[in-house]
Amino acid sequence: MTILASAIAAVMLSCAEPNTQTPQTKSVTEAVYASGYLEALDQAVIRSQVEGVLLESFVNEGERVRKGQLLFTLSGVALDSRLQSARTAYEIAQRNASESSPVLEEARKGVAIAKEQFVADSLTWLRQSRLYEQKAASISQYENAKKAYESSRQSLERSIVQLKGKQDQVIRDLEASRKDLRMVQDELDFFQVKSDRDGIFYESPFSPGELIKKGDILAVIGSDRGYLGSLKIDEKDISRVRLGQEVLLEMDAFPDKTFRAKVTKIYSRIDPVDQMLRVDAELSDSLPASLTGLALEANILIREKSEALVIPGNLLLPGDSVLVFQEGKEQKIKVLTGIRTLSEVEVLEGLSAESNLIKR
């Protein structure tokens, strides 16, 4: 009977005292989780402006390049005939606009002939006018001389207008042919793809012989001064991230190393697809190899506390309260929280290091 009573008492005691644990005093760091990829500083892509076959590549991945350095040549056979036609048209336009232009020379001769005739008819009309005043010429002789004068004057004016028109036309033709030639030359330059910056040639997805379409990415080039993490954070964390905050980066390519970085840019546009915001973090540490495009995970450090009273996050109830066992019974207590991590919560008020938290 005594043994049975003791067993019943033990069972009742175990039912009365739930499974509990006490808060811990430890260092805790609040951080915002982010994911993204690695890219070089000032990284940019070079796109093809034309369609053609890649004939030759002059740079290997990982090599340094200079601004203006030739990277690729593409086929431009169709442009060769256009270039020759444009050059021929420009040369003809130059000749037509020169002082020895046959087109202008013909118009000048027309003006000279009309001027000579005008001078002759002017003298004749002047002479007939005097004779008519002296009653030495008939009215018909006077009028015929006047008509000849008017006709030659109009002819001279037309010749001058025609000369001016041809002069203007050859100038317009010269400018148009020069513009056409420059346009073809510029288009031909697109088949000679050059670097637009100093840096490292990181990648090209094409090999000689492959067809390149307009808009295709031919190369990825970035600065040799360092790297940054192109990160994305959840929209709910936007207000917690600031410029200059320290970032810890991890990459699968370097599993045993954590890289330090700092937030250098916070973008202002949220991606409408995933509702994430881009943040750039420039690496303070150097990389063991020149690589870009590596996937990475990051923690943006918001604040840190060396001695904080911490409880497991799964013990915090909605409304920031916890269940504790005190005075022999279960009680619900309101707490004031501080730093929160993925698994833990700092408690500022409401608990002590001796509090017995009920585990469910």
3-state secondary structure 20-66: EECCEEEEEEEEEEEEEEEEECCCEEEECCCCEEEEEECCCCCCEEC
Q: What is the pLDDT of residue 139?
A: 86
Q: What is the pLDDT of residue 10?
A: 45
Residues 90, 158, single domain; the answer is yes
Q: What is the pLDDT of residue 77?
A: 64
- Give every CB contact of residue 255 below 8 A, 6+ residues apart in sequence: none
Domain count, the chain: 4
Percent of the chain with pLDDT over 90: 47
Q: Which conformational region is residue 135 in: left (phi greater than 0), alpha (psi within -120 to 50 degrees), or beta?
A: left
- For residue 207, count other CB atoms closer than 10 A to its CB: 8
Task: Using CB atoms within 10 Å of the CB of residue 71, give its burial: 0 to 12 exposed, 13 to 18 middle, 19+ buried.
Answer: buried
What pTM, to 2 d.p., does this model score? 0.57
| Domain containing residue 336: CATH number | 2.40.420.20
To the nearest 10 degrees (0 to 180), the angle between helices 77-97 and 102-133 is 30
For 85, the token pair is 């036609």
Q: What is the pLDDT of residue 65?
A: 94
Q: What is the pLDDT of residue 54?
A: 92
pLDDT digits (tens, 9 = 90+) for 147-176: 988 999 999 999 999 989 888 898 998 999
How many angstroms separate the CA atoms of 257 and 248, rounded?
Answer: 10
How many angstroms separate the CA atoms of 129 and 297, rounded?
Answer: 106
- Looking at the predicted structure, is the pLDDT value of residue 323 above 60? yes
Helix (H/G/I), strand (E/B), else coil: 351 = coil
How many angstroms separate the CA atoms of 184 and 190, rounded?
Answer: 10
Choose one of 220, 238, 269: the last residue of a domain: 220
Decide if 267 contacts 278 (C-beta within 8 A): yes
Q: What is the pLDDT of residue 57?
A: 93
| Domain containing residue 200: CATH number | 2.40.50.100
Residues 184, 259, single domain; the answer is no
Residues 71, 197, single domain; the answer is yes
Q: b/e per residue, 88-121, with b = 16+ CB within 10 A?
A: ebbeebeebbeeebebbeebeebbeebeebbeeb
Q: 355: number of CA atoms within 13 Å, CB side?
A: 24
Q: With bands split at pLDDT 50, 70 and 90, how would you rate the model's confidence at 199? A: very high
Q: Which domain holds residue 66?
A: 46-75+191-220
How many angstroms separate the CA atoms of 142 and 293, rounded?
Answer: 97
Residues 146, 58, single domain; the answer is no
- Looking at the predicted structure, is the pLDDT value of residue 300 above 80? yes
- Looking at the predicted structure, is the pLDDT value of residue 14 above 80? no
> Average of pLDDT values for 183-197?
86
What are the CA-CA distances from residue 144 to residues 122, 124, 126 (Å)? Answer: 12, 10, 12
- Looking at the predicted structure, is the pLDDT value of residue 6 above 80? no
> Average of pLDDT values for 133-138?
83
Percent of the chain with pLDDT over 70: 95
Q: What is the pLDDT of residue 191?
A: 87
Q: Residue 287: name the closest of 216, 235, 224 by CA.
A: 224
Residues 120, 206, single domain; the answer is no
Q: What is the pLDDT of residue 279?
A: 97
pLDDT digits (tens, 9 = 90+) for 42-82: 999 999 998 889 999 999 988 999 999 999 999 876 677 78
Residues 239, 329, single domain; the answer is no
- Looking at the predicted structure, is the pLDDT value of residue 16 above 70? no
- Classify residue 13: in a domain, yes or no: no
